[in-house]
């Protein structure tokens, strides 16, 4: 399925959190924990400050939130990696999938979205429901470069202490899971295909992602 702003607001990720808790595959964050996390990220910001959000995976091709500007952006010190196991969204407990996270080292090109100050509360709350379902990711302010302009943005990096952190996996292992895993949010292969298609459309030719896609196509 392609989730949307409406399905998120109607509790799709809350349902996934409840299922994850019931099956014992992860401990979901509570509403209070998510709210506290968001408050911490915004602490000290002027009330009239716009917010930039950096997307490197599904946020590039399905942001599902409202924004007033969209720009190509680059970050340094982090790279895109299939490093987070997903036992529900794009997989099952018996056959978990893998989704992208930002892991340490290198650089990453993606999309930066500017959220107007007046939309901050509604749109960031929506993003926290989506990205902070459990302890897989950590929200972080990072420096970004958009052409000649430099600013900072919120993004979600991998939590290396989390139980679902996959680390650096062999190509064959990544490809095998992406080729076969599927869950409530759709197949892992579709997630990969959509990411590579949109990277190419943005002029971001990432050889490592194409190697993974070619290996997956060889398995299906």
Provide the annotated active-site residues: 131
CB 194 within 8 Å of CB 81 = no
Backbone angles phi, psi at 206, to 5 degrees: -105, 105
DSSP state of 43: T
Q: How far apart are CA 189 and CA 121, in angstroms?
A: 33
Tokens of 58: 């599904």
Angle, alpha carbons 195-196-197 (nearest 5°): 95
Residue 44 neighbours by CB distance under 10 Å: 7
Q: Tell me how far apart the alpha carbons of residues 129 and 9 are, in angstroms, rounded to a whole number.
A: 8
Q: 136, exposed or middle or buried, with CB in 10 Å at 0-12, 13-18, 19+?
A: buried
Please check whether residue 49 is in contact with residue 121, taking contact to mean a CB–CB distance below 8 angstroms: no
Inter-residue contact 165 to 158 (CB < 8 Å)? yes
In eight-state DSSP terms, residue 90 is S
| Cα(202)–Cα(219) distance, integer angstroms | 27
């Amino acid at each position: 399925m392609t989730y949307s702003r409406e399905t998120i607001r109607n509790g799709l990720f809350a349902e996934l959190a409840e299922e994850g808790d019931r099956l014992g595959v992860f401990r979901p964050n509570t509403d209070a924990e998510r709210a506290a996390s968001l408050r911490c990220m915004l602490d000290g910001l002027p009330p009239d400050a716009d917010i930039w959000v950096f997307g490197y995976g599904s946020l590039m091709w399905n942001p599902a939130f409202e924004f007033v500007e969209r720009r190509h952006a680059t970050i340094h010190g982090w790279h895109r990696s299939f490093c987070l196991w997903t036992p529900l969204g794009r997989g099952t407990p018996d056959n978990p999938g893998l989704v992208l996270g930002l892991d340490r080292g290198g650089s990453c090109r993606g999309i930066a979205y500017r959220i107007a100050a007046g939309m901050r509360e509604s749109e960031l709350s929506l993003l926290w429901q989506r990205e902070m379902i459990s302890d897989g990711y950590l929200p972080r302010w990072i420096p970004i470069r958009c052409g000649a302009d430099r600013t900072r943005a919120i993004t979600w990096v991998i939590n290396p202490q989390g139980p679902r952190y996959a680390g650096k996996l062999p190509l064959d292992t990544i490809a095998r899971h992406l080729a076969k895993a599927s869950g409530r949010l759709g197949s892992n292969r579709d997630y990969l295909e959509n990411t590579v298609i949109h990277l190419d459309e943005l002029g971001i030719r990432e050889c490592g992602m194409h190697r993974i896609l070619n290996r997956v196509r060889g398995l299906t």
